Amino acid sequence: MRIPGLLVVALAAGCGGEFPEAIDAATDPVGDTDGGGGGGVAPTVLPFAVDDWYGPSGYMGDGENPGAIEDAQTCLADRPTTWLGNCHRYTWTPSGTAWAGVYWQYPDGNWGDLPGLTVPAGATRISFRAWGATGTEKVDFMVGMMAVDGFQVTQEQIALTTEPQQFTLSLAGASYARVVGGFGWVAKEATAAMTFSIDDIRWE
């Protein structure tokens, strides 16, 4: 596994079916809208749900150890019908590495060997909802992989509460076209299991 370099940018601060299946770019006969080699079609309008196009397949750090990260996909009982994508309830149980994370990738498992998803022009931010089991959790969130996408926006150590809050990653100044890393998170230095939820992840 390759972990892309980080570019840190200071920022202002339900269940929707199964994860997308990995696409085999070598055999899939349908190209992206620009005729590239990523396979499949691409979104044509904003906003779109990250889960509709990207799979949370890029397990990093402790996540490479079997069982260290679990995604229960548990939704709020009163999840708003306007929220997009899938519900994610992650539990990281530290198992020897000081950090863990997950990237939503296109196609699944792509660290840059294949082209990313063609994202419509005009997106200004990625928005998402997040909350913790105890309200003491701190998590980094990011979009883009600098080494392969040419940009990366990271907001570090977001303090979560027990109630869902909306957060945004601003794309101001970012230049994008085909994007491998549609969203991601990293948690650091936990000494015991930590649980937090992410939902309604969208490019807009």
User: Tokens in use for 5?
Assistant: 């370099």
Return per-residue pLDDT of the chain as tens, 204 residues: 444 343 333 333 334 333 333 333 333 333 343 333 344 589 999 999 999 999 999 999 999 999 999 999 999 999 999 999 999 999 999 998 999 999 999 999 999 999 999 999 999 999 999 999 999 999 999 999 999 999 999 999 999 999 999 999 999 999 999 999 999 999 998 989 999 999 999 999
CA of residue 120 relative to chain centroid, distance: 17
| Angle, CA of 19, 153 and 53, to the nearest 5° | 20
Neighbours of 167 (CB within 10 A): 19
Give the pairing of strands 69-71 and 181-188.
Answer: unpaired
Kindly list the domain boundaries of the chain, sorted by start residue.
48-203
108 CB-side CA count, 13 A: 11
Class of domain 48-203: mainly beta
